[in-house]
């Protein structure tokens, strides 16, 4: 297995865990009001966390690693769910929308990563907030990013369930 494939397998594993988390919550009617529940005023709810993961993967696939905006399916969500955005109490995507976005965005990212080789991993690819990093580092950041938000939702869910009992 080459290095890029190994990194991709980490991205895939993380996305599979996120999708399983969404499906588990969606499959439990007692948890449906969890989607927009906040631990405190101004804090992100699960719908924002999950949609943010999808938007971030699509941003990297269509705007950051390459410029291919025509491939973006959820560009109208970018400003509302990218890093630094404020979660809304009224703009809460459904479980179905979140699952579709996660799957579509991840597939778009997979397609983008297929355009690179191991030789590209140490090439500086772009700058975000004057932070010029190699392709390898950006992929590692994405691996961390999805696991980070998955964990935030897990913690939210534990607190939510604790308040229900």
Whether residue 159 is predicted with pLDDT greater than 80 in this model: the reply is yes
User: How would you class 96 by CB atoms within 10 Å of its CB: exposed for 0-12, middle for 13-18, buried for 19 or more?
Assistant: exposed
Question: Six-digit token pair at 104?
Answer: 């579509």
Q: What is the pLDDT of residues 71-90, one digit of tens each?
A: 999 999 999 998 888 898 88
Whether residue 6 is predicted with pLDDT greater than 70 in this model: the reply is yes
Q: Looking at residue 126, what is its pLDDT?
A: 65
Calculate ∠ Cα 89-95-100, nearest 5°: 120
Largest CA distance in the chain: 53
Q: Which residues contact 9 (CB under 8 A, 6 or more apart)?
A: 1
Whether residue 145 is predicted with pLDDT greater than 70 in this model: the reply is yes
Confidence of residue 135 (pLDDT cuts 50, 70, 90): very high
Whether residue 128 is predicted with pLDDT greater than 80 in this model: the reply is no
Confidence of residue 133 (pLDDT cuts 50, 70, 90): confident
Q: How many helices (H) and strands (E) does the chain have?
A: 5, 2
Confidence of residue 50 (pLDDT cuts 50, 70, 90): very high
The span from the CA of 159 to the CA of 32, in Å, is 15
Helix (H/G/I), strand (E/B), else coil: 16: helix
The span from the CA of 56 to the CA of 127, in Å, is 15
The span from the CA of 83 to the CA of 31, in Å, is 26
Question: Six-digit token pair at 155?
Answer: 């913690």
The span from the CA of 34 to the CA of 98, in Å, is 14
- Could you give all domains of the chain from N- to C-terminal order, each with its CATH number? 3-164 (1.20.120.450)
Confidence of residue 11 (pLDDT cuts 50, 70, 90): very high
Rounded average pLDDT over 55-82: 93
Rounded average pLDDT over 143-148: 97
Mean residue pLDDT of the chain comes to 93
């Amino acid at each position: 297995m080459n290095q890029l494939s190994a990194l991709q397998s980490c991205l895939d594993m993380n996305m599979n865990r996120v999708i399983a988390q969404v499906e588990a919550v969606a499959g439990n009617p007692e948890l449906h009001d969890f989607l927009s529940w906040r631990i405190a005023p101004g804090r992100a709810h699960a719908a924002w966390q999950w949609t943010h993961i999808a938007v971030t993967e699509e941003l990297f696939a269509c705007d950051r690693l390459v410029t291919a905006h025509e491939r973006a399916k959820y560009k109208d969500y970018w400003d509302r769910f990218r890093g630094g955005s404020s979660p809304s109490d009224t703009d809460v995507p459904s479980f179905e929308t979140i699952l579709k976005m996660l799957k579509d965005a991840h597939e778009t990212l997979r397609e983008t990563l297929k355009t690179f080789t191991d030789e590209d991993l140490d090439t500086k690819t772009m700058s975000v907030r004057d932070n010029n990093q190699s392709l390898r580092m950006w992929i590692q950041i994405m691996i961390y990013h999805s696991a980070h938000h998955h964990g935030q939702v897990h913690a939210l869910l534990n607190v939510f369930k604790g308040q229900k009992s």
